[in-house]
Structure 1
Amino acid sequence: MADHYEVLGVARDASPEEIKKAYRRLARQLHPDVNPGEDASEQFKLVTHAYDVLSDPDQRQRYDMGGDASAFGGGAGAGFGGFSDIFESFFGGGGGGTRAGRPRSRRERGQDALVRVDLDLGDVVFGVHRDIEVDTAVLCETCQGSCCQPGTQPVTCDICHGSGQIQRTVRSLLGNVVTSQPCTTCQGYGTTIPYPCSTCQGQGRVRARRTVSIDIPAGVETGLRLQLPGSGEVGPAGGPNGDLYLEVTVAPHDVFSRDGDDLLATLEVSMIDAILGTSVTIDSLDGSVDLDIRAGVQAGDELTIRGRGITPLRGDQRGDLRVGVQVVTPTHLDPKARALVQELAKRVRPAPPHLAEFHPGLFSKLRGKFKR
């Protein structure tokens, strides 16, 4: 049997928080909804069982003392849980994940599911509604989670008489000690199912594809996870549903980029329009908007259009659309146009090229305005 600490990749003295983090990381990689391979499925079961044992202080203590971890946390192992198990049974405790006189329940909570959702930047401005297809476990319609063929029901185990446990007398240095272990006939449930449902093979659930409708709020960004409680897979025997997590990925846009709740864009302006000024209509992510370009605008100047950015995740005050100006200098002039420019130069008498005062943040500022 694989060592639980090695399965999770943690040290034997790992803290509960380290064990939880390791389990979550591995579960995201190996969950059947993310990684459908058979090897991943088997590894996912090992990881889940290891976490079940090590996350419970009592079971972890038994395991560290050399106990049979398969006899705890829902397993059906036939061995004893080590020396501590004998003491628990002697003082009234029970092994195998059940308490004395109380069988374990077939109904368990379903696993959580993780689905990745791809969005466009335009979806982030106001939010978007999506219908998402999820391949998961759903309640068996034939038996409605009873695990039994219709018209039948579980029967009391005739070996443990419904307790889910078998008591044995063991000779030890302390004398005769009565120990308890899960009943191998009913696996600790206290009942058996003589006629399991033919549709779900006695699991109370089946794999199916279903549609989940979700309103994704405005302001989300890549890496954000949205939790939908109770929208994950149904548990064994019709147990409570797990949760569904949506991991958001926002695709890059050809024109706009994001800076917090603001949108950034670059506007190419001809040298003539930069000199004389002009008005232009540009297409934002939610429609056309007029923009006035003042006379004498410089390359690197920023023009702000209020309230045309992104609606924040919490709040309703939209960000701004910030437009960085890029002055485009003509590269091909006919003789007449060149003569006009030369005449302009004589009249304006521009200063000759010279080094300006150094500003450490100038280049990063320009890159921020002109990035796409």
Structure 2
Amino acid sequence: MDPYELLGIDRDADDATIKKAYRKLARQYHPDVNPGPEAEEKFKEISHAYEVLSDPQKRAAYDRGGDPFGGAGGFGQGAGFSFTDIMDAFFGGAAGGTGAGRGPRPRVRRGQDALIRLDIDLAEAAFGVTRELKVDTAVLCTLCQGEGTASGTHPVPCETCHGAGEVAQVQRSFLGEVRTLRPCAACRGFGSIIPDPCRECSGDGRVRSRRTLTVKIPAGVDTGTRVQLAEQGEVGPGGGPAGDLYVEIHVAKHPTFVRHGNDLHCTVTLPMTAAALGTTLTLPTLEADLVAGETPDTEGLETSFDLEVKPGTQSGQDTVLKARGVPGLRGGRGDLVVTVAVETPTRLDDAQQDLLRQLAELRGEDTPTGNLKQGGHGFFGKLRDAFNGH
């Protein structure tokens, strides 16, 4: 039967049209989709037709008047179409395109990214720092310059797959001869073999080495921030381009300041007398850590500031100092929030107790009542409202 007529195409149809027609009919008549002897026979015929018309030599022979089926008349005899052709018909090339396979895989490939953790202080995270890191990664083999071969030698084509990187495995089934392609075991899919590998890298084109890198940490980073160093990761197989190196920041806890976003929080403890009378405190800034650590370019940094505590300051009261927090990665700077904790003395001698009693008498606080806060909505507030008829 005419293969053009079987596929429903013109005699001058191009390869794309032939392939499209075969896909459509293969989906329609495949035995798994359309069981039955008639559909199976039809599927065999269109598979024969596609085998002839997809092969330039067989198509040319048929156009000259040859027999496309070789007189055998049977699908299983000499069909030999690729299993990837069937998969291509159903999945649009997911199994290997037109049956030509993927070809040899390249020896030269990009390297993997690398990750290293860096511990820094809060001040370094806030204002930035430059550090030297020792990293252990794959680097280019200097003996073979990534070629993987000994001096004066080169890779040779694989005799098993003849440079294709794949070998065909043919099996017989009710569909006929089904051909599948697998990576060549002899050359591991490269299509070539290195007969005399480099003695330094054993043919990989790279070796492991420890090296020192300088990394600049920008101001405003926090725990979890990653700084990217382009092309400083693992060199790829065959001396391929290096991946990137990511430096993940971990900020150590500070003895005084706690960071919340770009704001800094600290707590200062005052005696109750200082909170009642008021005072002025001199407190260190975060910049003081840079000066103490002998960080370069610290000249002119403000290492302390005065905090005015107003008379009658209550425990838990906050004082917000604008723009004394952590600089932001995109500019600006957070605030410093100072919380006052008023300390009540736990041990008083007789004289101190007498003085406090005198103060309590003068203030009328010698018999305190523990007044409830007006307008409360807790249990006692609700109880009071009930008695008052609210």
Short-chain TM bin: 0.5 to 0.7
Question: How many residues matched?
Answer: 273
State how far apart, in whole Å, the 2-side matches of 1:145 and 1:257 are.
Answer: 49
Deviates more, 1:182-191 or 1:272-281: 182-191
**Structure 1 residue 207, shift from structure 2 partner:** 1.4
> Deviation digits for residues 267-296 of structure 1, max 9, x if unmatched?
111122112211111112112111111111
Out of 316, 323, 327, the position equivalent to 2:331 is: 316
SS in 2 for 1:337: helix
* Residue aligning to 2:364: 349
* Residue aligning to 2:266: 265
Unaligned stretches of 5+ in structure 1? 1-81, 361-372
> Deviation digits for residues 65-100 of structure 1, max 9, x if unmatched?
xxxxxxxxxxxxxxxxx95477569973344xx33x
Quickly say closer, same or farther: Cα 1:86–1:236, change in 2 above 3 A.
farther
* Residue aligning to 1:295: 311
Please report the TM-score for the alignment, with normalisation by the length of structure 1: 0.65
Q: Does 1:93 align with 2:99?
A: yes
* Residue aligning to 1:329: 344
| Counterpart contact for 2:84–2:97, Cα < 8 Å | no
| Counterpart contact for 2:84–2:180, Cα < 8 Å | no
SS in 1 for 2:357: helix
SS in 2 for 1:234: coil
* Residue aligning to 1:56: none
SS in 1 for 2:124: helix
Out of 347, 350, 354, the position equivalent to 1:339 is: 354
Quickly say closer, same or farther: Cα 1:344–1:156, change in 2 above 3 A.
same
Q: Percent identity?
A: 48
> Deviation digits for residues 89-121 of structure 1, max 9, x if unmatched?
9973344xx33xxx2210122222222222222
> Deviation digits for residues 39-60 of structure 1, max 9, x if unmatched?
xxxxxxxxxxxxxxxxxxxxxx
State how far apart, in whole Å, the 1-side matches of 2:348 and 2:85 are.
Answer: 93
* Aligned residue type for 1:268: T
Unaligned stretches of 5+ in structure 2? 1-81, 89-94, 288-302, 379-390
What's the RMSD between the two structures over aligned residues? 2.9
Report matched runs for 1:107-118 at 5 Å. Answer: 107-118=108-119
**Structure 1 residue 347, shift from structure 2 partner:** 3.0
Quickly say closer, same or farther: Cα 1:295–1:164, change in 2 above 3 A.
same
Please report the TM-score for the alignment, with normalisation by the length of structure 2: 0.62
Out of 284, 291, 304, the position equivalent to 2:320 is: 304
**Structure 1 residue 349, shift from structure 2 partner:** 3.1
| Counterpart contact for 2:84–2:179, Cα < 8 Å | no
State how far apart, in whole Å, the 2-side matches of 1:177 and 1:260 are.
Answer: 63
| Counterpart contact for 1:171–1:177, Cα < 8 Å | yes
State how far apart, in whole Å, the 2-side matches of 1:263 and 1:359 are.
Answer: 33
Q: Which has the larger radius of gyration?
A: 2
| Counterpart contact for 1:120–1:251, Cα < 8 Å | yes
State how far apart, in whole Å, the 2-side matches of 1:130 and 1:177 are.
Answer: 61
> Deviation digits for residues 3-31 of structure 1, max 9, x if unmatched?
xxxxxxxxxxxxxxxxxxxxxxxxxxxxx
